[in-house]
Each structure stands twice: as C-alpha cells, then as structure tokens.
Amino acid sequence: MRLHGDVSDDKLLKVLKEFEGAIYQRPPLRSAVKRAVRIRRIYKIEVLERRGRDVLLRVWCEAGTYMRKLCHDVGEILGVGAHMQELRRIRAGCFTEEEHLSTLHDLVDAYHFWKEEGIEDYIREVVLPVEYAVQHLPKIVVRDSAVDAICRGAPLAVPGILRIETPIRVDDWVAIMTLKGELVAIGEAKMRSEHIMTATKGIAATPRFVVMEPGTYPSMWRGAKKA
Amino acid sequence: MWRREKREILIKAEDETDPRYGKAPEERSVKELLEYGVVNLDKPIGPSSHEVVAWIKRLLGFKKVAHAGTLEPLGGGETPRSPGYSL
C-alpha cells in the first residue's frame, strides 16, 4: 500500500486494526463479478515493513476480497488517501508458496521433457493429482457401488458410506472419495458426522462439482444400460 | 477459517474395492495425471488469469484448462490451475 500523505505508525496500526472483521465492498468497474455491495471478512492484517509512505502488509482474508479497495478505504479513513501499489497472493486454501509452486516456464519445460524425452520426474512435480486440492476438506469414503451414480449427479445416501472424517457439519463442503483414494466429487453435506454414523438411511451429501468421469466405475442401477 | 482442523476418521462399514475399476492417484500414468491434475502456478504480474489459461492451452495443446480464482492483472503469485480438467 502506498499512502498519499504522512501518518504516524500508531495511527496506521490503529486504523488497520479497525478493518479486521467484516467489511463492505463493492467490486470495481473492471471485475468479473456482479457489482453489488457485499460483505467480506478480513481475518487479520499484519504490517511487515514500512518505509515512509510505502507499507508492506500481509492480509488474511476471505476469497473475493479486493485488496485494491481495502487500500483505498484505509487511505480514506486515515484521511490522506492511499492506493495498492503491488499485490501478491501467497496462499489460497491449501495452495501455498512453500509447496509445489511452479512458474509457467517450469510447466512448459516439464511437459516437454516428458513429451519429447519420456522423463516423468519434472512433470510429476509440477502437475499434482487433483486429490491434492481437497486435502483440507473432510472426506467421505464410499462403496464402489455408489460411485457411478454420484458421477452422474445423484445424491449420496447413507448406505453407500464406508468412512467419514469428523467434524462434518450441515452445508460443509466434503470430498467424496473411493476406497482407492480417488476424488469422485466435491459435495455439500446434508447431515452432520454424528448423524451419518448412527443413521441407516437418508441423504448424507449432494454432489456439487463432479470430478470423476462417469463410467470409471460400473453403473449399479438395476435396468440401466451397461456402458 | 484458515486453520486446518484436526480430523478423526470414523468407520461406518467395511467393503472391498474392485481392482478392475479406477486406480489409486499415485499409480496414474502421466497422461492420466494430466487429465486429473492441478498446478500451483506462480502467475506473472501483467497478464490476467484468463490470458495465462489461454497460453497454457496453446503451448501445451490442452483442451480443458481452468483456473480457480482470478487474480487482478497487477497481482502475481499462486493460482491453482487444472490442466485437462475444468472444475
């Protein structure tokens, strides 16, 4: 953030602290989303460095929070004005800078090493199994017989469940997995973990994003056409 | 929030999995990996996330590439991508 005037460290820290918690934001003119005022959470703001009017901040926030608008608004409250000079996302969910961060060069080189030389090591370091992306979600492991129906969008019923991770609350996102550890779909939980364990029937989760191709596991519906 | 919760695994029932169908993620061939893969990409400052996706499609010949979360053109840093599969 670059300030447009001078403020004391104390005043800066005090105002930044006020922005922790829920804030209002309207997406800017150049944006991919609808321009309605919405609420976003700022979990924490940390000042890493300050050199005069340049302030290096680390912000923990909800996805979809505009840093540009945050800097502008901080400037307004400080009275001197401010703008975002530079931005770098250092974390998104389970994706951090520390693990498997690759540049476009890495990706292209690794791909060519494999395509042209048959060397797999590099591409396997750059491209990760999709299961990596759900490591932070609670898992529900299902029987083989339940898999194909879920791939086709059917809700997951309790009898199809073998294992669950706790805690799962209603409306939580869950990763629906096979016994082999493959990601079938990301779903929304309709029952909490304690209820799933004691129930014998009912819908436990509904698929929201199906990842596995239908037909990977055989269809178990009676009367269904065999693939 | 952002802290990873400590999780316990509860077993409701036992069953076997048929080795004829599906495959453990670690055993995927590179071709299969590219169909169900994600990249933690350090996006350069300048191009938009959409442009970078277009480049990847062109450079590597992939049909379906998606990005999970736009970053402003002025923003650099990591952006997860899935080559081969769009989420």
B75 is in which domain, residue-wise?
Answer: 29-83
Note whether ipTM > 0.90 here: no
Name the domain count of chain B. 1
Rounded to a whole number, what is the distance in Å from the CA of B63 to chain A's nearest CA?
15
Within a domain: residue B60? yes
Within a domain: residue B6? no
Residue type, A161: I
Taking CB atoms and an 8 Å cutoff, what residues of chain B touch A217? 18, 21-22
How many Cβ atoms are within 10 Å of B2's Cβ, its own excluded? 11
- Looking at residue B23, its pLDDT comes to 95
* Pair A210, A185: CB distance under 8 Å: yes
First to last CA, chain A: 57
Kindly provide the residue ranges of all beta strands, DSSP E only, lying in A52-154, ordered along the sequence: 54-61, 82-83, 87-89, 91-92, 95-96, 101-102, 127-129, 139-142
Taking CB atoms and an 8 Å cutoff, what residues of chain B touch A164? 9-10, 12
Cβ pair A108:B59 closer than 8 A: yes
Cβ pair B30:A114 closer than 8 A: yes
Nearest Cα neighbor of A183 from B64, B36, B39 is B36
Rounded to a whole number, what is the distance in Å from the CA of B40 to chain A's nearest CA?
5
* Token pair recorded at residue A25: 């934001």
Span A110-165, pLDDT tens digits: 999 999 999 999 999 999 999 999 999 999 999 999 999 999 999 999 999 999 99
Cβ pair A101:B34 closer than 8 A: no
Angle, CA A47 vertex, CA A44 and CA A53 arms, to 5°: 130
Residue type, A211: V
* Token pair recorded at residue A29: 């003119």
Span B40-85, pLDDT tens digits: 888 888 888 888 889 998 988 888 888 876 655 545 555 666 554 3
Cβ pair A120:B30 closer than 8 A: yes
Nearest Cα neighbor of A183 from A219, A158, A157, A208 is A208
Give the separation between CA A141 and CA A131, rounded to whole angstroms. Answer: 13
Positive or negative torsion for Cα A134, A106, A100, A43:
negative
Q: Kindly list the structural domains of chain A, giving each domain's residue range(s) and its CATH number in brackets, ordered by start.
A: 2-88 (3.30.70.3190), 97-128 (no CATH), 133-210 (2.30.130.10)
Within a domain: residue B58? yes
Nearest Cα neighbor of A222 from A121, A149, A153 is A149
Give the separation between CA B34 and CA B36, rounded to whole angstroms. Answer: 6
Span A23-74, pLDDT tens digits: 998 887 777 778 888 899 999 999 999 999 999 999 999 988 999 999 999 9
| CA distance to A106, A115, A215, B37, B69, per residue, from A118 (Å) | 16, 6, 29, 18, 32
Cβ pair A129:B33 closer than 8 A: yes
Within a domain: residue B73? yes
